Amino acid sequence: MPIHSRCSGVFAPVVMPFERDLSVNARRLVGQCKWLLTQNVGIAVFGTNSEANSLSVDEKIDLLDQLIDAGIDPSRLMPGTGLCALPDTVRLTEHATRLGCAGVLMLPPFYYKDVSDDGLYRSYAEVIERVGSNRLKIYLYHIPPISQIAISISLIERLVKDYPETVVGIKDSSGDWSNTKEMLDAGWDDFRIFTGSEKFLLQTMRNGGAGCISATANINPAAIYDLYENWQAPAAESKQQELMVLRDLVQRYPVIPALKCIVACNSNEPDWLHVRPPLESLGKSLRDALIAKLTEMNFHMKGLHDGTQ
């Protein structure tokens, strides 16, 4: 994928492997990313399910360097770079852009609530101007259930109008199809709209969307990509329903610990269970129940042992 092209497809906000002392295991992260790439899934490292806001800026910069040093193609990377402090967002975004990442996924500054669209516009504009690179591609990250900060249609229109070659897409994790549909109907020129859940993948593709950036792409990437690739096929509806069986199961649990439990089981690496506080790992009874259900479904992460886990 050339640096200046716009992204489409399926991306995984890659779960982050921690040691018992809560340090990051970069080797295990590289292995997980390489496996995901074999499943035709892009790497949205430092997303919500990466526990991104439990990582420091220095850790993120070091991990990006290690991923690329390990042979991960930067054109398959869409790291999350949106932070509360403007200098941190600029620093991380600048580094990702310099490395040649295909784009960055950018939360709004989310600590202060009830901020105006003018304030949010200024925040994004400051980042763009300070990074100052025509290689920068920003995919906005709309996740009001977590951030409590909405990215309005009017704000998107203003950013696209003023920075048409930089603000090139959005991930909509509102969980509200009507909101995604309003974005899809807006008619912004070549603006890439990703749903934040494969629950809406078929509808998104039928309405001109770009794909999805989904938590469960960490564990079910090939099947999600299959629907993305074959959304026009007669079997698309049944493929969509099949995806929802696993999605619905994972959502019965705290999602990040559940994803890590599934990866730990499939990789035979129990250290995948670790999360950074304030999150907590699944207790044994919950882990056993989840794995029992997955076994009943005959689910497994094909080819995971072929990586460098």
The pLDDT of 244-256, averaged and rounded, is 97
Match 């994928």 to its residue by tokens.
1
Written in H, E and C, the secondary structure of 270-291 is HHHHCCCCCCCCCCHHHHHHHH
Confidence at residue 109, expressed as pLDDT on a 0 to 100 scale: 97
Contacts of 35 (CB under 8 A, 6+ apart): 301, 303, 304, 306, 307, 309
Confidence at residue 302, expressed as pLDDT on a 0 to 100 scale: 86
The torsion region of residue 276 among left (phi > 0), alpha (psi -120 to 50) and beta comes to: beta
Count of CB atoms situated within 10 Å of the CB of 152: 11
The answer to the question of residue 18 being in a domain is yes
The answer to the question of residue 205 being in a domain is yes
Confidence at residue 308, expressed as pLDDT on a 0 to 100 scale: 45
The answer to the question of residue 46 being in a domain is yes
Contact between 263 and 307 (Cβ < 8 Å): no
Edge-to-edge order in the sheet of strand 138-142? 42-43, 9-12, 211-213, 192-195, 167-172, 138-142, 104-106
CA distance 285 to 115: 42
Confidence at residue 50, expressed as pLDDT on a 0 to 100 scale: 97
The 10s digit of each residue's pLDDT in 50-95 is 999 999 999 999 999 999 999 999 999 999 999 999 999 999 999 9
- Sign of the alpha-carbon dihedral angle for 176, 180, 185, 187: positive
pLDDT at 1 over 70: no
The 10s digit of each residue's pLDDT in 2-54 is 445 899 999 999 999 999 999 999 999 999 999 999 999 999 999 999 999 99
The two three-digit tokens of residue 225, written as one number: 């990509």
Confidence at residue 31, expressed as pLDDT on a 0 to 100 scale: 96
User: Which CATH number is 97's domain given?
Assistant: 3.20.20.70
The answer to the question of residue 167 being in a domain is yes
Written in H, E and C, the secondary structure of 95-131 is HHHHHCCCCEEECCCCCCCCCCHHHHHHHHHHHHHHH
Q: Domain range spanning residue 46?
A: 9-231
Contact between 107 and 70 (Cβ < 8 Å): no
CA distance 138 to 158: 14
pLDDT at 309 over 70: no
Nearest to 104 by CA among 52, 54, 147: 52
Confidence at residue 199, expressed as pLDDT on a 0 to 100 scale: 97
Average pLDDT, the chain: 96
CA distance 37 to 50: 17
The 10s digit of each residue's pLDDT in 200-225 is 999 999 999 999 999 999 999 999 99
The answer to the question of residue 289 being in a domain is no
The answer to the question of residue 72 being in a domain is yes
Q: What is the pTM of this model?
A: 0.95
The pLDDT of 119-129, averaged and rounded, is 98
CA distance 136 to 100: 9
The answer to the question of residue 43 being in a domain is yes
As for how many domains the chain has, the answer is 1
The 10s digit of each residue's pLDDT in 147-191 is 999 999 999 999 999 999 999 999 999 999 999 999 999 999 999
Confidence at residue 305, expressed as pLDDT on a 0 to 100 scale: 63
The answer to the question of residue 238 being in a domain is no
